[in-house]
Amino acid sequence: MTSTDIPLKSPGSVTDLSAAEVEAVERALIDASTRVPVLMFYTSAIAWLLLWTVLAFVASFKMHAPDWLSSVSFLTYGRLRPAAVNVMLYGWASMAGMGTAIWLMARLCRTTLRHPLLLVTGGAFWNFGVVLGLIGIFMGDSTGYQWLEFPPYAAIVLFVAYTLIMSWAVLMFSFRRGDPMYITQWYLLGAFLWFPWIYLAAQVMLFLTPVQGVMQAAVNWWYANNLLFLWFGSLGLGTAYYMIPKVIGRPVYSYHLAAIGFWTYAFFASWTGMQRLIDGPFPAWMVTASIAAMILCAIPFATVSLNHHLTMRGYFGLLRYSPTLRFNIFGAMSFTAFAIVGVLISLRSVARYVQFTEVSVAYSHIGLYAFFSMVMFGAMYYIMPRLVGREWRYASLIKIHFWASAYGIGLLTLMLLAGGFVQGLDMDDPTLAFTETTQALLPYLRGRSIAGILLTVAHFVFAYHFVLMLLGLGRTASVPTFLNPVNPEPEDAIAH
Amino acid sequence: MNPPNPDAPRPRQGMDYGESKDVQQVHAAIQREKQEPRIGLEPLSIWLIAIYAIAIFCGGAYLGRFSGSFNGESLDPLVGEQPVKKAGAAGAAGAQQATELTPAERGKKVFMANCATCHQANGEGVAGQYPPLAGSEYVIHGTRRPAMIVLKGLEGPLTVKGSHFGTAVMQPWEKTLTDQKIADVLTYVRSDWGNNASPISADQIAALRKELAGHPGSWHEADLQAIPADANLPGGEQGGAAQKPGAPPQGSAAPATPGANPPKP
């Protein structure tokens, strides 16, 4: 590659640079073009993350202290919990995912982001939609459909905003240069096209021209499950497929595994959702088709997990140093756990005990937090220094963030899984009254609130660190902020 | 934190931010990073193919076993429950489950939902406020007294097991609970926590309800003392005997196997 190959707005002094430096200049120009929108998406995401933390924490306490704050209508559990869940889904997770996706797309398409302000407008509209939806929920306007509680007027704003954001990402793809498509681009493009599909389908079939009766539950669960799989799953896997090989400087283990993993995921995941309705008033084949699809999802789950594992083989020592790698590997491993739990609880013989228990809450947390959010944290630790030109200020804060998050989500899922199984066995015992089954669950719910304290610490520490970066108060050293001191020798191997 | 290590030679790195604007703002993070990720071409492992085969087999088998021939008429619960199908009594599944609980087990649920708040789950009551049921002389002897109390309620003061309860008030349950539920909960109360008295049937309660229909308010201690402690309701098994053979409530539920977990429909 010679200097003249840079079609981006290249400065005059480029000519006397080496090929490697030309690539660096190109990357710098691309990063600079994405700076404003990505920072805007990240800042909003983290603001929503903090709001979610507070709302979810209060909601978690209400599970074992129901009288607390219950005298104000908008602080009752029935409004607080949907508000928390939707802030998590559409505020934090979607904003973080889209911000990362924009940056990754620009990098991988090797093209600068044109008219970044339009993306900022899209992001602002999206924020407006989330605010509107939240107000709706707090005013008692929730729709009552799982994960779709935002009232329709907020959903319209969200969808318009999304169209703007998506068209920009896809437009970037059509301007791509050079190399063949990388795996991350498959997933991102897939996610950007799948989300409007499931969202529009759910909105139309539930609110615009509602389907009849119990079929609404089927549509609702199909949407909820695929929001987790096709939207967050694809964004998270795509990000991990970029970050892991990028940080360790080694190719992804196998193209074949990646291709099989992607296409089987695309094909089977969209069939799932109805497994949450086992024993519901549906034709048996609907539920069975979803369970079979979940079993077949073991193929992409195993393939992707193995691909990440084999890419990392021999490089696990680097987890000691790189924050990005550590968060991403935690996320990738949680994806495996997410897959195993997901397949298991969808089987009829297991669902008989764990359906309608805290186990399904635990399952969502593994997917949304242990997998997706951790991958996003890792991506932010990688991307932020490139956008603001500063290194993360304190290694200690990154460590606190990681361990509090890891232990917090670990404790939380453990409590909910164990509590859910106990609850399921109790509810299956006809000699026990319902009040007894709920009382047996109380210790686990208290444990979950303790885990919530850990997560709160993690999020506020991260937000503080993030604000320092935004204000340009990061370090100005030329080496990244590693979690532990690095000797000069292996440093080159993990420069990230 | 990271020691800067100034001695190591650092080609293409070590730029000071904010000082050299002419270097296209290529800061160190971008300079030092590795090239964009590439894809290797390792072949599939045989074990992975085995996993694929297992997943496809299991998925297919599941589809065959539980799909109900993709018929819109085969609803979900029926497909999973082969025994019910064989018996040809699919519609009776619900009724079957209801009869599989013994009266005492049903009564326990009623007790937990309605009575345990005051009398506590262990039947010991609360000292000075709510009288105990375990070993209470109003509970363990004849069937008439406890049935009267549950139907019409009770107003203190009252002495139970030698302890005095000054303000004890129990609401009448005749409007809230059915005959069956009252019979079940009495059967339960008379048989748990060391109590060992005879069961009571719904018919007996129904008869008593008719008999007391004209009675206006709750009982007082004197009203109860007027009834002999071992007075029984007509019908059913007499006395506080320990045996609980096929008394009327159980007679109709003959196939019941108490304690066994019934399959979920």
Domain assignment of residue B230, yes or no? yes
Last residue of a domain, one of B98, B117, B138: B98
pLDDT of residue A17: 63
Domain assignment of residue B142, yes or no? yes
Q: What is the mean pLDDT of residues B81-91?
A: 42
Q: Are residues B156 and B83 in the same domain?
A: no
CA nearest neighbour of A238 among A302, A198, A183, A167? A183
Domain count, chain B: 2
Q: What is the mean pLDDT of residues B83-103?
A: 51
Q: Are residues B131 and B222 in the same domain?
A: yes
Min CA distance, B221 vs chain A (Å)?
32
What is the pTM (predicted TM-score) of this model?
0.75
> Is B2–A481 a contact, with Cβ atoms under 8 angstroms apart?
yes
Q: Are residues B75 and B199 in the same domain?
A: no
Q: What is the mean pLDDT of residues B191-201?
A: 85
Q: Give the β-pairing of B154-155 and B163-165.
A: unpaired
Task: Answer whether B92 touches A (CB < 8 Å).
Answer: no
For chain A, the domains span 35-179
- Torsion sign (Cα): B97, B99, B105, B107: positive
Q: What is the mean pLDDT of residues B246-261?
A: 41
pLDDT at A177 over 60: yes
Q: Name the range with the highest mean pLDDT among A96-110, A420-434, A474-488, B37-51.
A: A96-110
Task: Answer whether A299 touches B (CB < 8 Å).
Answer: yes
For residue A466, what pLDDT band results from cuts at 50, 70 and 90? very high
For residue B116, what pLDDT band results from cuts at 50, 70 and 90? confident
What are the start-end ranges of the E strands in A327-484?
Answer: none
Q: Are residues B82 and B146 in the same domain?
A: no
Position with higher pLDDT, B213 vs B237: B213
Residue partners of B227: CB distance under 8 A and separation at least 6: B142, B144, B145, B148
Last residue of a domain, one of B98, B113, B137: B98
Q: What is the dihedral of CA B206, B212, B215, B218, to 10 degrees?
A: -70
Domain assignment of residue B17, yes or no? no
pLDDT of residue B155: 83
Q: Are residues B82 and B139 in the same domain?
A: no
The share of chain A scoring above pLDDT 90, in percent, equals 71
Tens digits of residue pLDDT in A280-292: 888 888 999 999 9
Q: Are residues B116 and B93 in the same domain?
A: no
Q: How far apart are CA A294 and CA A339, in angstroms?
A: 9
Position with higher pLDDT, B172 vs A91: A91
pLDDT of residue A48: 97
Q: What is the mean pLDDT of residues A92-103?
A: 96
**A270 DSSP β-pair partners:** none
Out of A21, A247, A481, the one facing B12 most closely (by C-beta) is A21
**A391 DSSP β-pair partners:** A475
Q: What is the mean pLDDT of residues B187-201?
A: 86
Q: How far apart are CA B213 and CA A464, in angstroms?
A: 72
Which amino acid does the sequence have at A191? Answer: A
Q: How far apart are CA B167 and CA A178, in angstroms?
A: 88
pLDDT at B263 over 50: no
3-state secondary structure of A440: helix
Domain assignment of residue B245, yes or no? no
3-state secondary structure of B40: coil
Task: Answer whether A285 touches B (CB < 8 Å).
Answer: yes
Domain assignment of residue B14, yes or no? no
pLDDT at A319 over 70: yes
pLDDT of residue B99: 54
Q: Name the range with the highest mean pLDDT among A136-140, B62-66, B126-130.
A: A136-140
pLDDT of residue A495: 57
Q: Which of A58-62, A476-480, B15-19, B74-78 has the lowest mean pLDDT?
A: B15-19
pLDDT at A494 over 60: no
CATH number of the structural domain spanning residue B228: 1.10.760.10
> Is A478–B38 a contact, with Cβ atoms under 8 angstroms apart?
no
Under 8 Å between Cβ of A188 and A156: no
For residue B92, what pLDDT band results from cuts at 50, 70 and 90? very low
pLDDT of residue A410: 97
Q: Are residues B178 and B200 in the same domain?
A: yes
Out of A249, A310, A488, the one facing B5 most closely (by C-beta) is A488
pLDDT at B88 over 80: no
> Is A428–B261 a contact, with Cβ atoms under 8 angstroms apart?
yes
Domain assignment of residue B37, yes or no? no
Task: Answer whether B185 touches A (CB < 8 Å).
Answer: no
pLDDT at B145 over 60: yes
For residue B249, what pLDDT band results from cuts at 50, 70 and 90? very low
pLDDT at A205 over 80: yes
pLDDT of residue A434: 86
Q: Are residues B121 and B235 in the same domain?
A: yes
Residue partners of B112: CB distance under 8 A and separation at least 6: A433, A435, A436, B121
Tens digits of residue pLDDT in B27-72: 677 777 887 888 888 888 899 999 999 999 999 999 988 888 888 7
Q: How far apart are CA A20 and CA A25, in angstroms?
A: 9
Enumerate residues 475 to 494 of chain A having a beta carbon within 8 A of any beta carbon in chain B. 476-482, 485-486, 488
Written as six digits, the tokens of A411 are 């404790």
pLDDT of residue B77: 56
3-state secondary structure of A391: strand
Domain assignment of residue B38, yes or no? no
pLDDT of residue B157: 82
Q: Are residues B73 and B166 in the same domain?
A: no
Q: How far apart are CA A171 and CA A136, in angstroms?
A: 33
User: B170: which DSSP letter?
Assistant: E
Residues of B in contact with A292 (CB under 8 A): 59-60, 62-63
Residue partners of B86: CB distance under 8 A and separation at least 6: none
**Which residue pairs, CB below 8 angstroms and at least 24 apart, start in A256-259?**
A256/B41, A256/B42, A256/B43, A256/B44, A257/A303, A257/A304, A257/A306, A257/A307, A257/A310, A257/B42, A257/B44, A257/B48, A258/A183, A258/A304, A258/A307, A258/B39
Q: Are residues B79 and B120 in the same domain?
A: no
For residue A492, what pLDDT band results from cuts at 50, 70 and 90? low
For residue B20, what pLDDT band results from cuts at 50, 70 and 90? very low
For residue A74, what pLDDT band results from cuts at 50, 70 and 90? confident
Residue from A239, A431, A465, A469 whose CB has the most chain B CBs within 10 Å, to mutate: A431
Min CA distance, A354 vs chain B (Å)?
13
Task: Answer whether A249 touches B (CB < 8 Å).
Answer: yes
**Which residue pairs, CB below 8 angstroms and at least 24 apart, start in B82-91?**
B83/B263, B84/B265
pLDDT at B238 over 70: no
For residue A490, what pLDDT band results from cuts at 50, 70 and 90? low
Position with higher pLDDT, B123 vs A125: A125
pLDDT of residue B178: 85
The share of chain B scoring above pLDDT 70, in percent, equals 69
Q: What is the mean pLDDT of residues A473-492?
A: 74
Last residue of a domain, one of B65, B98, B131: B98
Q: What is the mean pLDDT of residues B162-180?
A: 82
pLDDT at A86 over 60: yes
3-state secondary structure of B137: coil
Q: Find the distance separating the first CA and the last CA of chain A, reported in whole Å.
A: 23
Tens digits of residue pLDDT in A373-407: 999 999 999 999 999 988 999 999 999 999 999 99
pLDDT of residue B13: 39
Average model confidence (pLDDT) across chain A: 90
Q: Are residues B172 and B206 in the same domain?
A: yes
**The Cα angle at residue B153 between residues B152 and B156, in degrees rounded to 5:** 140
Position with higher pLDDT, B221 vs A165: A165
Min CA distance, B74 vs chain A (Å)?
6
Task: Answer whether B63 touches A (CB < 8 Å).
Answer: yes
Average model confidence (pLDDT) across chain B: 72
Q: How far apart are CA A424 and CA B2, in angstroms?
A: 50
Residues of A in contact with B56 (CB under 8 A): 296, 299
Task: Answer whether B19 touches A (CB < 8 Å).
Answer: no
A398: burial class by Cβ within 10 Å (0-12, 13-18, 19+)? buried
Within B37-92, residue ranges assigned H as helices are: 46-66, 76-80, 82-87
Q: What is the mean pLDDT of residues B76-89?
A: 45
Under 8 Å between Cβ of A122 and A165: yes
Domain region containing B220:
102-239
What are the start-end ranges of the E strands in B125-190?
Answer: 154-155, 158-160, 163-165, 169-170
Tens digits of residue pLDDT in A2-53: 333 444 544 444 455 677 778 888 888 899 999 999 999 999 999 999 999 9
Written as six digits, the tokens of A487 are 């000797």
Position with higher pLDDT, B1 vs A281: A281
Other beta carbons within 10 angstroms of residue B81's beta carbon come to: 17
pLDDT of residue B82: 45
Residue from B17, B41, B74, B120 whose CB has the most chain A CBs within 10 Å, to mutate: B17
pLDDT of residue B95: 47
Q: Which of A409-423, B27-41, B66-80, B218-232 has the lowest mean pLDDT?
A: B66-80
Q: Are residues B122 and B93 in the same domain?
A: no
Q: What is the mean pLDDT of residues B87-92?
A: 43
**The Cα angle at residue A29 between residues A27 and A30, in degrees rounded to 5:** 65
Domain assignment of residue B235, yes or no? yes
Min CA distance, A54 vs chain B (Å)?
31
A328: burial class by Cβ within 10 Å (0-12, 13-18, 19+)? buried
Task: Answer whether A2 touches B (CB < 8 Å).
Answer: no
Q: What is the mean pLDDT of residues B153-174?
A: 82
| Chain B nearest-CA residue for A253 | B40
3-state secondary structure of B219: strand
Q: How far apart are CA A365 and CA A417, in angstroms?
A: 11
Q: What is the mean pLDDT of residues A130-149?
A: 94
**B39 DSSP β-pair partners:** A252
